[in-house]
Structures are given as C-alpha cells and as structure tokens.
Chain A
C-alpha cells in the first residue's frame, strides 16, 4: 500500500464518506458560503480524495475556511456529505504532534469584551486537538 492509499483509507474511515456516490454536480460548492475563500472547493475535496490527490488538500488553508454550516451536507443530492471529508483531512493535520492550528495561548490577543465562550470553545474544537 502506498502512503497515499493509506491516507485515503484513513480519511474514508474517519469521515464515513463514500466519494464514489458523487455525480460531480457541483451543488455543494455552489451552496458553500466559504466558496470565495477556498482554494479547493467541496466538490474538489470529494474528487481529489477519490483519486488519491491528498497532499495538496492537507497543505491547503481551505481546511480552516469551512464554517461547518452543514449546507453541503444537507443539499448534496447523493448524500455524499463533503464537509465530513474536510473535517477528516483537517484532523489528519492537527492530530500530528505540535500541529494545532489554534492554541489556547493565542486567545488573549484575539478576544474582545463581547466574545461569547461558545466561539472560543468551537474554534479550539475545530482547530486543535
């Protein structure tokens, strides 16, 4: 098994997604509120995981632009649920030693008086292990 095949297997297991169900209609990307900010779009995540083109996704800032809004999950006609791949890829990166994208130490510089705890907890859950 090549490294790419191993990574693909891990991503499919963590996400529970079957990319072969995708008909490449682009609805997920069309509805994605982060589309303009993403280098790779939800339908590309599906296609690139399927073809084993995984390294560029792991290196992309797109992983941190997903809002977890579940729009692509709900609106995909084939129930592929691309956000689950984005989540699995992001975890593959941040679960490595020292690879947290957001650290508790970053917080004091970023908070204002009104910031809800919910925001900080959510960001820590998404961006660090």
Chain B
C-alpha cells in the first residue's frame, strides 16, 4: 500500500526520530510513505478565525496533491495532523472559504476536501490493523508500563478529528498492547502540556506539564509516549527527569526489531 506522506518541519529537524522510525516501521508493515513534493509548513496551529485564509493555503496544497495521487494523506506529528484535518474539514463544510481558496490557488481540479486525512496511528488501526502489527512484533516490550499521552491535538475538536472518543480514548492504549507492553490509564492523559504558551508564560507550561507527569507517575507509568514534538519538549523541559518521554514510533520500531538500543 502506498500513501501520501506529510512529514512537517519539526520532523526534519528536532524530531527526526519521530519521522525516521515511522518510515522504517511503515515499510516493515508493508506501507510506503511517499513524501509529497514541495510541501510547506502546516503553521503548527489551526486558526479558528473564519476570515483567516492565507495561513491555511499550504495545507490545502498538500491535501490537493494527495487528491491528485488518489491517496490518503498521512502524517505523524499531532499538530500537522490536526491542522491538515481541520483545514480539510473547512474545505468540505465552509463554501465561502473553499471558493476563495480554490480561486486563489487554482488547483488542477477544484478541491473540496476529498482527501482522506489519516494520522499514523489511524493507519495502524484502520488500514494495517492491530492484529497485523502484533504479528509483526519481533521484540515485544513485555512488562513495560507505558502511559499514553494524547494531549489536545489528536482528539480535539472531536467532531472534526473523529479519531477516537475524546474523553475515553483508547487508540494509543491499543497500540501499546499491540507491541506487547502494558498501558497505564491516568487522569491527565488528554489534558494540555502548556503548548506554545511556554514562550509567553513558562511558569504556566511548567505547571501544566507537571500535572500530566504527576498524574502518570501516580498511576504507575514508567514512561510516556507521545506523537507531538511540542508535548515532548514541554514534558522534558519541565519534568526534571520525572518520567522519560518518547515518540510512539520509537517504541514501534523497537518492538518490530528495527532499532538498536
């Protein structure tokens, strides 16, 4: 199976492990992540303003490119996925926005949100399937107590993201089980780490990150997995070494026997 792939800026720089192990793991599972040509930064955050158009164009170009290939558009970073999916939803539902965008970028064929936007976790669950993942595991992470850190962007706004139940999600826990480890459910797994406000108010993000880490540690997690470079940065920087935080793709590659420790 071949899918279009949108890596995103941070996966080319500070979060190379998120990208590299996604590609290697996908290949081992029989999926080719075909990086789309000339993609541009998603912008990191989706503007909720209905009259904000220019900042959403890069996503539409990527979505239209995938439509041309007739392939779903996959990304691994929570933020890229969130912005792509919300932009796609706006192209499907907001006719004024869609016509302005189409008039401006003039794609080969008018784009109205036909591309299926998938997070890598959805690719695992819906296209590959947990059974196939489990069958491909060579080094199960038996006994490892792993906390899923969803944060905000994978799940919300849930009507648009439609990945999982926003209050009782299980996609990452199912992933953790598939690689042979033990998921740890904890109260703050879908609360905010402080996000970009860390640059405006470092104390606020410290407080938010600590709440997440204390909550996970209290429930018995030995490490956390995330799909978001910003979550990882905030938790690492504010966490004082409380709990290690790794990308879920690192654990996947480890379990598939693709990673040297």
Interface segment among B29-37, B100-108, B122-130, B230-238: the answer is B230-238
Contact status of A70 and B156, CB under 8 A, knowing A14-B49, A116-B229: yes
CB distance from B149 to the nearest CB of A (A): 13
Encode A89-122 as 1/0 by CB contact (under 8 A) with B: 0010000000000100000001010111111111
Encode A60-85 as 1/0 by CB contact (under 8 A) with B: 00001111111101100000010110
Q: Is the interface of B mostly helix, strand, loop or mixed?
A: loop
Q: Which residues of B contact A116 (CB under 8 A)?
A: 10, 13-15, 229-230, 232-233
Is A21 in the interface zone, CB < 8 Å from B? Answer: no
Is B163 in the interface zone, CB < 8 Å from A? Answer: no
User: Is A117's CB under 8 angstroms from B14's CB?
Assistant: yes
CB distance from B35 to the nearest CB of A (A): 17
Contact status of A33 and B229, CB under 8 A, knowing A15-B48, A121-B41, A122-B45: no
CB distance from B78 to the nearest CB of A (A): 10
B contacts with A, residue count (CB < 8 A) = 45
Q: Which residues of A contact B79 (CB under 8 A)?
A: 118, 122
Q: Is the interface of A mostly helix, strand, loop or mixed?
A: helix
Q: Which residues of B contact A48 (CB under 8 A)?
A: none
Is B169 in the interface zone, CB < 8 Å from A? Answer: no
| CB nearest neighbor in A for B45 | A122
From 58 to 102 in chain B, residues with beta carbon under 8 angstroms from any chain A beta carbon are 77, 79
Q: CA of A122 to CA of B78 in the docked complex: distance in angstroms?
A: 13
User: Is A125's CB under 8 angstroms from B233's CB?
Assistant: no
Is A123 in the interface zone, CB < 8 Å from B? Answer: yes
Contact status of A37 and B233, CB under 8 A, knowing A69-B195, A88-B49, A123-B196: no
Is A126 in the interface zone, CB < 8 Å from B? Answer: yes
Q: Which residues of A contact B8 (CB under 8 A)?
A: 118
Is A45 in the interface zone, CB < 8 Å from B? Answer: no
User: Is B196's CB under 8 angstroms from A71's CB?
Assistant: no
Is A18 in the interface zone, CB < 8 Å from B? Answer: no
Q: CA of A79 to CA of B15 in the docked complex: distance in angstroms?
A: 35
Q: CA of A13 to CA of B52 in the docked complex: distance in angstroms?
A: 12
Contact status of A13 and B50, CB under 8 A, knowing A65-B204, A71-B156: yes
Is A34 in the interface zone, CB < 8 Å from B? Answer: yes
CB distance from A107 to the nearest CB of B (A): 9
| CB nearest neighbor in B for A70 | B156
Is B51 in the interface zone, CB < 8 Å from A? Answer: yes
- Using a CB–CB cutoff of 8 Å, the interface residues on chain B facing chain A are 8-10, 13-15, 41, 43-45, 47-52, 55, 77, 79, 152-153, 155-158, 166, 191-192, 194-201, 204, 208, 228-230, 232-233, 236-237
